Structure 1
Amino acid sequence: MRKRTSSLTAEHDSVPPAAPEDSDPAVKRCPPQGKAGHGAPQGTDPEKRMAKSFKRLGLAGKVKRILMWILLVYFCIPVLVKLCPSIQAKLVFLNFVRLPYFIDLKRPSDHGLNHTVNYYLEPESGFKIGVWHTVPAQMWAEAQGKDRDWYDGALLSPHPVILYLHGNAGTRGGDHRVQLYKVLSSFGYHVVTFDYRGWGDSDGSPSEGGMTADSLFMYHRLKRAVANKPLYVWGHSLGTGVATNLVRRLSDTGSPPDALVLESPFTNIREEARSHPFSMVYRYLPGFDWFFLDAISANDIRFASDENVNHISCPVLILHAEDDSVVPFHLGRKLYASAARSKSLSGQKVQFIPFQASLGYKHKFIYRSPELPHILSDFFGAVHPNTQ
């Protein structure tokens, strides 16, 4: 073993030569400079030491001040949320976050969707919502340069149709959403999606009731257009809450869709808010439910999928990645357990497909799975054999 050695270096101060003594007794000799307290002037060393100590004290004061501000903000946020519940609603919907920025939703071709048309509909008088319709990849060549009337007529083709309900934040032009449209189109599906009121370039303000009403409007319009062809509902993240609201209402009227796909779903909005990474710093704060979760309820936001599955009467497919940090995997499995026990789903196909964390699909990349076409083909083929 090598021995660790250290060297000590001795420093030698050179002694200046002694000055010649002045023979004149009248000349006063100045005493040599020495250490403090021995005739030396008040040297600079003590002043430097004091300055350093003041600096150290100043740094500690700054750190203390920063910590005080952080604590002040930390405790003020729950109070603000409680006093202004609308803040919490904005955090649930995040409709003001438009990622990616500076995109023209009127031009889906800018995203590589050359077989997609953009148009606007009025669910209610006085406001419009923006819609995209992507035809199956097999119809790509024929779709070039066609207008909305041609796309509406294309819904009569033999290909099944998916109504896609996106999650919070962003628009119908979000990157991961566009990639999913392309994947589903390549599998042979029409994909119709839209921005709820208050999202993207759609008019209005967001609310759970408004999102559900827009979805009902879109579904009924598609149902009339496709006649007896398969029509599926696909929801992602917050869109799964909208999807179960929609399908519950359709089931109550005896006209559910042919199947419901829930990608990265949660049980209800309170449990999702408690599990969301943003709530981590407050989760164990006394009164967390009172400050934050009750504020969500005050905005009439529930998205109670775990209740809705007790009223749904169509096949349900749940897709969830184990490494989802936005909507934790255990919430998707818990929702599946509720659906499996549901009396209204008795006799219906209810399937849960987990994706291992090692695949890295997280919250919004399940579309990358090479198994997805087989999963959908097997599931839809079982519930609607004439799609094969």
Structure 2
Amino acid sequence: SSSDTNTLTYPIAPIAPLHLSLTGLEQGEYEKLNLSALKIEAVWFLSLLLLWILVVYISIPLIIKLCPSIQAKLVFLNFVRIPYFIDLKHPSDQGLNHTCNFYLEPEVGLKIGVWHTVPAQMWKEAQGKEGNWYDSTFSSNHPVILYLHGNAGTRGGDHRVQLYKVLSSLGYHVVTFDYRGWGDSDGSPSEEGMTSDALFIYDWLKQRLDKMPLFIWGHSLGTGVATNLVRRLCDRGSPPDALILESPFTNIREEAKSHPFSMVYRYLPGFDWFFLDAITANNIRFASDENVNHISCPVLILHAEDDGVVPFHLGKKLYKIASQSKSLSGHKVHFVPFSSSLAYKHKFIYRSPELPNILSSAIPDLWTGAHSGVSHTSIVNGLQSLAKSANMVR
């Protein structure tokens, strides 16, 4: 038709995509905007983080003040069982194949786990023996050390086991136990309960000993138990032959204030009210600085200068108080520091090859009668070998 012939068609070119190009100036502005946004996000994140830290920082003292039992758990740390997978019924698993495990009841229905390690000289004879044989060895010509361990862990803690081996090699019976609430012992921990358990074990030992010396050795928190125990013994007129305090403190308030855990709160206004009063609210004092004024037996204090748990200055302060005690005026009080260069820290004084010399010079009775048939030289050489072995696995 005529209309068809008059229609003109034009090819349609494809529309190219629109490309926007930024000039150098515009690109710089764009990057600045991105950088500013990132900075705002970073500041916002850091602000939230700091706010969260502040809330936690403020909340912890308030929680402890409202629930003082938390502070008691932090003092005792009996729930921290390291190493966890050891069977306390089998001390031979820890290399103590001349040690007997048994249980005693300081109170009706309350069972506590005890280890008795005989002197190393009895090692062969001890193989395959049961509790009755171990009980009979208390009549031998060897003194006894009652060892009171510190917080956390059990009587099977590695550094404790190593000390038992050292003392056994020096000719001592070593008797140790887990306080109520520790290890496989029943009950819940308290200062009074720990002291009562120690007193019960001490009396149990005295019933089995003739005239052989009985020494009390406390470590860390165990030094507080030890001075509590010895004070009670002295009050009733039956002091032990000597008291050995390894890494001791003056009292629990001063120790808590000096402990690394308290560093972030130490200068907080109201620190004593928030933290220290929460400890004493649980009847926890461990006032060794008071106890030494009621003790009447030789005292030996051992402390490493690089102790990061119980500061060295607290052990030295306790020594000064003990040195001025009227009740100790007729007894020897010794303080033996260990240089930081030795790296004995809080747990490793047992590695000192000088330990037998220290014991024999500080408290002569610790040496007299302790080493029947064994020369001083052979014992020192043996202990040096033990110390070298310990240093190899440090």
> Which TM-score bucket, shorter chain as reference?
0.7 to 0.9
Instruction: Note the C-alpha offset of 1:49.
Output: 4.6
Instruction: Note the C-alpha offset of 1:376.
Output: 1.2
The answer as to whether partners of 2:143 and 2:369 remain within 8 angstroms in 1 is no
Instruction: Note the C-alpha offset of 1:48.
Output: 5.4
Match of 1:257 in 2: 240
Instruction: Note the C-alpha offset of 1:33.
Output: 6.2
Taking a change above 3 Å as real, the CA distance of residues 249 and 34 of structure 1, as seen in their structure-2 partners, is closer
Structure 2 counterpart of 1:375, which letter? I
Distance in 2, matches of 1:310 and 1:36, equals 87
The one of 209, 212, 221 equivalent to 1:238 is 221
How many percent of aligned residue pairs carry the same amino acid? 72
Gaps spanning 5+ residues in structure 1: where?
Answer: 1-27
Instruction: Note the C-alpha offset of 1:377.
Output: 2.1
The answer as to whether partners of 1:215 and 1:246 remain within 8 angstroms in 2 is yes
Instruction: Note the C-alpha offset of 1:31.
Output: 11
Taking a change above 3 Å as real, the CA distance of residues 32 and 160 of structure 1, as seen in their structure-2 partners, is closer
Structure 2 counterpart of 1:316, which letter? V
2:139 aligns to what SS in structure 1?
Answer: coil
Distance in 2, matches of 1:192 and 1:349, equals 24
Distance in 2, matches of 1:47 and 1:308, equals 74
Distance in 2, matches of 1:31 and 1:99, equals 70
Structure 1 counterpart of 2:294, which letter? H
Distance in 2, matches of 1:30 and 1:226, equals 103
The one of 70, 84, 87 equivalent to 2:67 is 84
Structure 2 counterpart of 1:101, which letter? Y
Match of 1:226 in 2: 209
Distance in 2, matches of 1:235 and 1:31, equals 85
Per the normalisation by structure 2, the TM-score is 0.87
Distance in 1, matches of 2:156 and 2:259, equals 24
Match of 1:13 in 2: none
Distance in 1, matches of 2:303 and 2:70, equals 29
Structure 2 counterpart of 1:67, which letter? L
Listed one character per residue, the Cα deviations across residues 20-70 of structure 1 (whole Å, up to 9, x for unaligned) are: xxxxxxxx99999665699xxxx8875555344323322221121111111
Matched, 1:152 2:135: yes
Distance in 1, matches of 2:86 and 2:16, equals 86
Structure 1 counterpart of 2:65, which letter? K
Match of 1:139 in 2: 122
The answer as to whether partners of 1:258 and 1:384 remain within 8 angstroms in 2 is no
Note the aligned Cα RMSD (angstroms).
2.3
Distance in 2, matches of 1:183 and 1:380, equals 18
More helix by share: 2
1:309 aligns to what SS in structure 2?
Answer: helix
The one of 251, 255, 275 equivalent to 2:258 is 275
The one of 96, 103, 121 equivalent to 1:113 is 96
Taking a change above 3 Å as real, the CA distance of residues 32 and 54 of structure 1, as seen in their structure-2 partners, is closer
Matched, 1:368 2:351: yes
Distance in 2, matches of 1:220 and 1:30, equals 98
Distance in 2, matches of 1:65 and 1:387, equals 65
